[in-house]
Structure 1
Amino acid sequence: MDDGQTPAEADELNPHIAHNARVWNYWLGGKDHYPADREVGDRVFGMFPNIVHVARADRAFLGRAVRHLAGEAGVSQFLDIGTGLPTVDNTHEVAQRVRPESRIVYVDNDPLVLLHARALLSGTPEGVTDYIDADARDPEAILRAAAKTLDFTRPVAVMLLGIMNFVLDVAEAQSVVRRLMAAVPSGSYLALTHPTVELGGEANIEAMRFWNEHARPPIVARTGEEIARFFDGLELLEPGLVSCSRWRPEAVGIGDAPEQVAQYGAVARKP
């Protein structure tokens, strides 16, 4: 019987096939995962133990980036693409804590995330949160739907955390980012993180190969030079493109730096 699902959607809801949203949730200490997700997550952890630090550093980067954007940068609109499963301190919670009137649009095409989307839609009375079921590879559809909530004549922070690594072709991935940033006005921002086999991530090569054979969706790592191209035409904020754990870290002692993780991160402004 045809249930209306595509093969990809069936995979994403299949508890016997590990899926990124659920495995990432497992690494972050969440509860939305199945035995297959935990098994693959543990195998990847065995090959690349720092993956848990990567997941947590990426989440912490989100918090620091959104606090800066909603605070010092004065941004009150966020387009968060590749939302993932709700956890602690989602984008709207961080932004609206700083700027209660913030408007946030989440975008994902994972049916499991859609099932949990209501948890993402409870924000402040002054602000707005919305959820779009769309693919990151279709920026025009994202922008059309987001325009119902966001005012694209005013600055928007485009959040692409750990999502462009699922667009395997580098030219396509760069095109997606260019098209998104072309649609937002001067004074908008791009926040992006991406896995790499640099920065001590060489052990991740085997782990990613295992992932691509046993989990969904497939993933690709990129070099710092390739990731830097996502920011072409934009003005990188200090400290530039760095390990996401070292982007404006908090509570660091003099002469100390957080442990480096194999995930680049940066925030840039559209001039």
Structure 2
Amino acid sequence: MSLYLVFDLGNTRLKWAAVESTQNIADRNKKLWAYSGSISTKSFQSPELRAELSDYISKTLPKPDAIGFCCVAGDAAIENLRSLFPQWQDLEWKQLRGSSPYQGLRTLYQDPSKLGADRWAALIGARALSSTNTLVINAGTATTIDLLGGNGVHYGGWILPGLSLMQDSLQQNTVQLPLAVRANKPEAQASFGSTTDKAITGGCDAAQIGAILRAAYLAKTMNHPVERIWLDGGNAKILAQEIKQFPELAILPVEPIEGLVLRGLWAWLLQNL
């Protein structure tokens, strides 16, 4: 049995997971990630916290057979990541980039090297889970919406500010608008906001859903009508609740799924061992 370690270095968080060769990439069981975790990307800049993370992982896991990673947080973050395990210097680190080939999948991006590695990993993860026309949505610091055809073609996508960025920009660039606070258990807002907080959060949610509706419409005009929506990222559950309010989208299988990028890294790593 082999062990694989995968890292997703994002703008906000560093996520990792360990998987065994006996596990199934298409398994949607929440316990798939028997060993996983995350820390903020900002805290990962601290040598002390990196040392703690290295010590924790190396003492919890046996030496992995391979390590795969993707990064959108810059070269310094990659250097910090590669420095984690000096005791495993003989291990080969494999970096997934937007231009990395994956059998059964291709992108129509004009310059694949400019495609975010996390978006590409999420598309690979989605492909490993299903072979239908799919919207792959990562609702994190930024919200990305990508169309993946059942034929394995990535037709491109959109990048827009995530919910927190939208709300922060209003607070930072206006005099009277506060930083909106969401309820601890946010519910879908099916009406206009009657308070400033609800007006802001509802407006930001509406902008995100509007983009998703537009993407579904375009996919249909391209003869690739959306048959499924995968949602990943910190705001996935919020968007899932909102999507249910729209008949055009509610009829689709809409599934928030954790670790779509990690799943894609895993699938790609297996093809490149």
Q: TM (normalized to structure 1)?
A: 0.29
Name the structure where strand makes up a greater proportion of residues: 2
Rg larger in structure: 2
Q: TM (normalized to structure 2)?
A: 0.29
